[in-house]
Amino acid sequence: MYWDKEIETMPRDQLEELQLKRLKETLEQASKAPFYKKLGLEDYEVKTLDDIEKLPFTTKEDLREAYPYGMVSVDRQNLVRLHSSSGTTGTPTVVFHTIKDIDSWAELVARCLYMVGVRKGDVFQNMIGYGLFTGGLGLHYGAERVGCLTIPSGPGNTKRQLKFLKDFDVNVVHVIPSYALYLADAAENMGIEPSKDLPNFRIALIGAEPHSEETRKKIEDFFSIDAYNSYGLSEMNGPGVAFECSEKTGMHIWEDAYLVEIVDPHTLSHVKPGETGELVLTTLTREGMPVIRYRTKDLTSIISSTCACGRTHRRITRISGRSDDMLIVKGVNIFPVQVEAVLLGTPGVRRNYQIILESRGHNDHMVVRVELDPGMFAGDMKGLENLKKKLTRDLRDELLITPEIELCEPGSLPVSEGKAVRVIDKREE
């Protein structure tokens, strides 16, 4: 049931004691890095966990500024690994690991895998990018630690993915949710029947891009498996920061390794317990590159109630958006993932979409462009008008503003990839 029972079920008071001890060690270690030395980190005094609020934040811009080696807090010859985030503009952000860091990262990932039922002897196909991106190697090391036969297939080459799934009797996959949906379509086209051809396929670990509960349901239903949401970011190692347990009610965040805060993105002070805000994390075990109060830009809230699985580490809710991809339209906060959720629940349209924001007079105007599903086209205008009406109504209920729907020909919108540009903001300043 538990990979590391003592840690995973540690009573809260002991866990917090451990956190305080590790926070003090981390601050001492971090103070050796040029970036934190310049910030005068060693002058801050921390006596209780609440004192974390006195410490300065670290942002992605800080990491860029410290490029290349400014965040490193050990002798460089002790570093064994460098990863870089998938940032598309400007200087990349890099993260360094010592051999001990790699070991504790693998341990956290193994904990996650064991939690969702992955066991020694399982065949694990890792369909996530290897290389600088942390998703591939992060899960790879964890899966090997559990004792899985690990297939580093990486993404793409869909026919071979499906062939391997079938021929090697794969039990567990790690996959980006949009690719899992694509894989389901491809399997259907190739005549693969999950119940017959993939009888021992049990688990999909889905993460690395925001997705809705509907997406999870679609993946689970098509393959007859359980899909578990995973959360991580390269600045905090990568995958393995937080993971769902079999209850599927929020992701346990490993509090022996990360100190969790939720702050209001504008005021930067702590939100009330249970309220949504920006997740801020401090590493508690990393030696090569400790990071203090890192602003993840991911929006979530903490579930403090105890979980039926017995783990004492608190859960965070599904990431509801990013404080930097939040759109403000007519004064209302809107996240693209909300639009995705409505589209997935609407027969007749595909999941590709585009949001266009315009100014009309002094008002914001939102257009949602969506592709018609060719299989559902009955040939009449009435059906299309009804579809438009239904989408308008459902989106208004979800977003609280009324968008204009534009039905487009299938295949005419940019293809869905992890970071597809879905929002075009033409509004005047």
Partner 1 sequence: MAHQLSLFVENKPGKLDRILDIFMDMGMDVKAFTIASSDKFGIIKLLVDKPFKAREMLKQSGFTVALTEVVVVEISGIPAGLKDITGFFLSRDINIDNALGFSFDKDGRALVIIESEAIPEVKDLLVENNFRVLSDEQIYAL
- The residues that touch partner 1, with contacts defined as CB under 8 A, are 372, 374, 377-382, 384-385, 406-412
Question: Which residue, 46 or 367, has its beta carbon nearer to partner 1?
Answer: 367
* Least Å from the CB of residue 378 to partner 1: 6
* Least Å from the CB of residue 409 to partner 1: 5
* Least Å from the CB of residue 380 to partner 1: 7
* Least Å from the CB of residue 404 to partner 1: 9
* Least Å from the CB of residue 149 to partner 1: 42
Question: Which residue, 18 or 372, has its beta carbon nearer to partner 1?
Answer: 372
Residue 216: HSE in the Cβ half-sphere, 13 Å Cα cutoff: 18
Long-range contacts of the stretch 182-187 (C-beta < 8 A, 24+): 182/158, 183/127, 183/158, 184/218, 184/219, 184/222, 184/223, 186/158, 186/159, 186/162, 187/162, 187/222
Cis check: omega of the bond before 290, within 30 degrees of 0: no
* CA distance readout (Å), 97 to 82, 235, 278: 6, 11, 26
Question: Which residue, 384 or 400, has its beta carbon nearer to partner 1?
Answer: 384
Asked if 294 contacts 279 with a C-beta cutoff of 8 angstroms, the reply is no
* CA distance readout (Å), 121 to 135, 231, 266, 274: 22, 25, 48, 39
Question: Which residue, 79 or 408, has its beta carbon nearer to partner 1?
Answer: 408
Q: Where are the alpha helices (DSSP H) in 169-310?
A: 177-189, 194-197, 213-223
* Least Å from the CB of residue 362 to partner 1: 24
* Least Å from the CB of residue 394 to partner 1: 19
d(CA 184, CA 182): 5
The phi, psi pair for 273, rounded to 5°, reads: -55, 130
| H or E stretch at 398 | helix 381-399
Inter-axis angle of helices 99-115 and 134-146, nearest 10: 70
Question: Which residue, 47 or 415, has its beta carbon nearer to partner 1?
Answer: 415
Going by C-alpha positions, the residue among 233, 335, 312, 211 that lies closest to residue 280 is: 233
* Least Å from the CB of residue 377 to partner 1: 5
* Least Å from the CB of residue 388 to partner 1: 9
Q: How far is CA 118 from the centre of its chain?
A: 20
Question: Which residue, 30 or 355, has its beta carbon nearer to partner 1?
Answer: 355
* CA distance readout (Å), 356 to 348, 365, 412: 21, 8, 15
Question: Which residue, 362 or 382, has its beta carbon nearer to partner 1?
Answer: 382
Going by C-alpha positions, the residue among 32, 62, 30 that lies closest to residue 46 is: 30
DSSP result, 76-123: GGGEEEEEE----SSSPPEEEEEHHHHHHHHHHHHHHHHHTT--TT-E
Question: Which residue, 343 or 370, has its beta carbon nearer to partner 1?
Answer: 370
Question: Which residue, 60 or 350, has its beta carbon nearer to partner 1?
Answer: 350
* Least Å from the CB of residue 187 to partner 1: 22
Question: Which residue, 88 or 415, has its beta carbon nearer to partner 1?
Answer: 415
Neighbour-count burial of 429, counting CB atoms closer than 10 A to its CB (0-12 exposed, 13-18 middle, 19+ buried)? exposed
